[in-house]
Amino acid sequence: MAALLLFSLLLAAPVLLVASGPAPGSTNNTVPLVLWHGMGDSCCNPLSMGAIKKMIEQEIPGIYVLSLMIGKNVVEDTENGFFLDVNHQVSMVCSQLAQDPKLQGGYNAMGFSQGGQFLRAVAQRCSSPPMKKLISVGGQHQGVYGLPRCPGESSHVCDMIREALNRGAYSDLVQKHLVQAQYWHDPLNDNLYKKHSVFLADINQERTVNETYKKNLQQLEKFVMVKFLQDSVVDPVDSEWFGFLKTGQAKETETLQESDLYKQDRLGLAAMDKAGKLVFLATEGDHLQFSKEWFDANLLPYLR
């Protein structure tokens, strides 16, 4: 998400420890870590993802941390978080990971905000190299039906996005050129969403069941989802735990376990839940804001 949010995180928690367990790839038998930033941010912003990457490397000597850059530079990376087809982004990342010799033994992945669902798409579509654990920090796995707040220097961009979504999120033009439209989930127009959503409806098996997606996702050792209880950015916040608004109205929500996706087990989530692979974590605070102590106690164990 926007650099301002992650900067707030860094102010509250000047040191984030990210540890890993034995696996090939890094120089000290730690599991390599792949990071994907959120909307309005970039791979290497020194106030956000760049600082997080640096702190991880300082705390775990020898670990290999790849903070994904989508584009040739940080400007392109930031812009692509708004305007580059998500399916193309995922393909770019899959190719990059497959060509990285340090990742061939497997890796852990941590996605911030929209980076969470983008990395899930990587897990479903690209099984080599294998993703071991996926940590989604405020990701929107059932999409969003609102863009209530987008603080910081990208606010004017968000105003434009909000207007485009309101006018026609499922038009071919908007779907092709606007990232946030590709995970826009309108419960009042369910048929339009299922038919025209080029990204979210596909990875959530809304049109047909892709058995490869289901098989690949179930290869994860753990799928950790973090919800921010005071989130003013993600609407509805239940999407961070794979819940959403009930179809046909826009007030009442349902949990993942209450959804048809889970009951029909189209994505393998019910089987993963029964196997103890799904982890639902919650923290007080706004989007992407948490303390070092919370991170150490709740996320660090999954990276060992």
pTM here? Answer: 0.88
Q: Mean pLDDT highest for which of 173-182, 257-266, 282-291, 292-301?
A: 257-266
Start-to-end Cα distance in the chain: 25
Which has more pLDDT, 59 or 174?
174
Residue 111 — very low, low, confident or very high, per pLDDT cuts 50/70/90?
A: very high
Per-residue pLDDT band for 287 (boundaries 50, 70, 90) equals very high
Options 113, 154, 197, 239, the catalytic residue: 113
Could you tell me which of 80, 77, 82 has the C-alpha nearest to residue 67? 77
Q: Are strands 33-36 and 107-112 parallel, antiparallel or unpaired?
A: parallel
Residue 177 annotated in active site: no
How many angstroms separate the CA atoms of 289 and 291, rounded? 7
Q: Bridge-partner residues for 228, per DSSP? A: 283
pLDDT at 137 over 50: yes
Average pLDDT over residues 5-32: 46
| Cβ contacts of 163 within 8 Å, gap of 6 or more | none
How many CA within 13 A on the CB side of residue 128?
1
Q: Where are the domains of the chain?
A: 33-144+209-302
**Residue 198 near residue 212 (C-beta atoms within 8 A):** no
Q: Averaged over 40-58, what is the pLDDT?
A: 87
- Which range scores top for mean pLDDT: 27-31, 155-159, 240-244, 249-253? 240-244
How far apart CA 202 and CA 182 sit, in angstroms, is: 10
Instruction: Report pLDDT digits (tens) over 235-250.
Output: 999 999 999 999 998 8
Confidence of residue 296 (pLDDT cuts 50, 70, 90): confident
Please tell me which residue, 78 or 60, carries the higher pLDDT value.
78
Q: Is 235 helix (H, G, I), strand (E, B) or coil?
A: coil
Contact 231, 287 (CB under 8 A): yes
- Look at residue 149 in the predicted model and tell me its pLDDT: 65
Confirm or reject CATH 3.30.1360.200 for domain 33-144+209-302, answering yes or no: no
| List 231, 238, 259, 286, catalytic entry | 231
Q: Is 231 among the catalytic positions?
A: yes
Q: Is 286 a catalytic residue?
A: no
Distance in angstroms (rounded) separating the CA atoms of residues 99 and 226: 30
- The residue among 304, 280, 303 whose CA lies nearest residue 110 is 303
